[in-house]
Amino acid sequence: MAGGFDAIVVGARCAGAATAMLLARAGYRVLMLERARFPRDTLSTLYIHQPGIALLHRWGVLDAVTATGCPPIERVVHQVDGVRLAGSVPPVDGIRAAYAPRRYLLDQILADAAVAAGVDFRPGCTVEDVTFTDGRATGVRWRHGGRTVPERAPLIVGADGMRSRTAAATGAVLLAAHPLLTCVYYTFVAGVDAGFEAYGTTGRWAGSVPTNDGLTLVATYFPQSEFPAIRADAHRAHHDCLRTVAPGLYERIAAGTPADRLYGSGDQRNYLRQAAGPGWALVGDAGHHKDSITARGITDAFHQAQALADAVGTDLHDPTRLDAALAGYAARRDDLVRDGYRDALATAALRPRRRLRLLRAVAADPALTERFLATMAGIRPSGDLATPDLTAAVRH
Ligand SMILES: Cc1cc2nc3c(=O)[nH]c(=O)nc-3n(C[C@H](O)[C@H](O)[C@H](O)COP(=O)(O)OP(=O)(O)OC[C@H]3O[C@@H](n4cnc5c(N)ncnc54)[C@H](O)[C@@H]3O)c2cc1C
């Protein structure tokens, strides 16, 4: 079906499937190519903040997510060196709860929603290259079963993750890059009474996230500089971190039943790439990646999918208008991720004691606690904490 598509989306997880679904709902013919075969898990601590859940609700897929049985998460604990903040975040478009669905469930639900919107979804197909005409991206070459297939479309969307082939092929310029900051390990435990809880001290971070099947994901973070030593005995490091940084949580976990192996990653890059150019755009990790410690990647991918679909609007078939729309998307993407990128770099430095005075002042006041938790959820910009009342409270 050469030339039969308006857009080709490379990658079918939370960025790609959401983008393909929204473009198809706007009336475009969309081809979505995915190297993997679904359902397939991927590394993730799963947590989706309320703004991401609000988008799932707006797109009509939240019911399918909640039907998987992952519990609503309304209360949050954030504790640094004994200073404890506990509360709930303000609602976003009426959504109070966060959720943490397993990725093999979430990504399948989004891909199904894309197919229901009319997307031609081809799993097991690897995009090898982007093709260009007079400097414009005008197609891709993809491989399936030993055959290489060319396909053309006026819009090529790279949603192919941190090692994006699309970003490399389009020559997307690196706008910012920072060193690796943490390494992370996590596993799943049954029968644990825990909510979304995060505990930090210098050089260590531990937390819990309730997910499907009555399981709790238990995660620990360490400085990247310690990765070789941590990796040498990751089980001991994970266990010791929980016991020392989050002793109360540790006791509840010890009363539960281990339900999976330990997963880990020391490759959580921090960068911002140019988000769009003539005939192409990047969404999700393909264009921007940051340390997972603030759990923003999925929500960011959803925002970017919506922003790209909004920007393209009805302009896809006029190259001049499409380029203006893509430039608008690129600027909007940078605005959407700027604050969260800064927050992730600051949190992943694993020096939370720097904020201890601020946290003490916040913990003493329920309204400030709600405001703080709202900034952590990405509902309010972190600059909202630099208000005169809080600045004065920190001084005293
Ligand atoms: C350890 C860890 C924990 C995390 N925890 C959280 C969390 O709690 N909350 C949160 O919001 N975010 C979290 N994140 C980040 C989040 O997982 C990512 O931001 C999110 O998955 C990005 O989605 P994506 O669709 O852009 O990319 P990906 O999920 O990487 O999907 C890209 C897809 O593209 C496909 N693909 C790649 N190359 C090709 C090709 N050439 N041709 C065809 N298909 C291709 C891949 O098979 C893959 O399915 C975490 C990340 C890590 C590593």
Each residue of 353-388: pLDDT tens digit? 889 999 999 999 999 999 999 999 999 988 888 777
The answer to whether residue 367 is domain-embedded is: no
Question: pLDDT at position 1, please?
Answer: 39
Between the CA of 160 and the centroid of ligand 1 the distance, in Å, is: 8
Domain shared by 186 and 247, yes or no: yes
Least Cα distance to 86 among 396, 357, 376 occurs for: 376
Share of the chain residues as helix, strand and coil, in percent rounded to the nearest 5: 40, 25, 30
What is the distance between the alpha carbons of residues 206 and 26, in angstroms, rounded to a whole number?
42
> Ligand 1: which residue has its CA nearest to atom 21?
298
Q: Where are the beta strands (DSSP E) in 17-82?
A: 30-34, 76-80
Residue bearing the bigger pLDDT, 318 or 3:
318
Between the CA of 253 and the centroid of ligand 1 the distance, in Å, is: 28
Ligand 1 pocket mutation, candidates 13, 65, 222, criterion most atoms within 8 A of CB: 13
Between the CA of 202 and the centroid of ligand 1 the distance, in Å, is: 28
> Ligand 1: which residue has its CA nearest to atom 26?
284
The answer to whether residue 74 is domain-embedded is: no
Domain shared by 155 and 18, yes or no: yes
CB-based pocket (< 6 A), ligand 1: 10-16, 33-36, 42-48, 126-127, 159-161, 165, 184, 265, 268, 284-286, 292, 295-299, 301
CATH number at residue 224: 3.30.9.40
What is the distance between the alpha carbons of residues 54 and 196, in angstroms, rounded to a whole number?
18
Arithmetic mean of pLDDT, 166-184: 98
**pLDDT for 42 beyond 60:** yes
Domain total in the chain: 2
Task: Report which residue type is found at 132.
Answer: F
Ligand 1 pocket mutation, candidates 48, 73, 230, 292, criterion most atoms within 8 A of CB: 292
Task: Report which residue type is found at 100.
Answer: A
Between the CA of 211 and the centroid of ligand 1 the distance, in Å, is: 18
Domain shared by 258 and 206, yes or no: yes
> Ligand 1: which residue has its CA nearest to atom 3?
44
Question: pLDDT at position 389, please?
Answer: 72
Percent of the chain at pLDDT above 70? 98
DSSP assignment letter at 43: S
Answer with the one of 210, 238, 265 that is the final residue of a domain: 265
Domain shared by 341 and 196, yes or no: no
Arithmetic mean of pLDDT, 84-111: 97
Q: Which atom number of ligand 1 is nearest to the Cα of residue 13?
A: 25
> Ligand 1: which residue has its CA nearest to atom 29?
13
Domain shared by 198 and 168, yes or no: no
Domain shared by 27 and 127, yes or no: yes
Arithmetic mean of pLDDT, 51-66: 98
CATH number at residue 291: 3.50.50.60
Degrees, nearest 5: CA angle 104-152-309? 55
Arithmetic mean of pLDDT, 82-109: 97
Domain shared by 35 and 109, yes or no: yes
Find the domain containing 146 and state its range: 7-46+102-177+269-348
Each residue of 150-161: pLDDT tens digit? 999 999 999 999
Arithmetic mean of pLDDT, 40-65: 97
Domain shared by 208 and 236, yes or no: yes
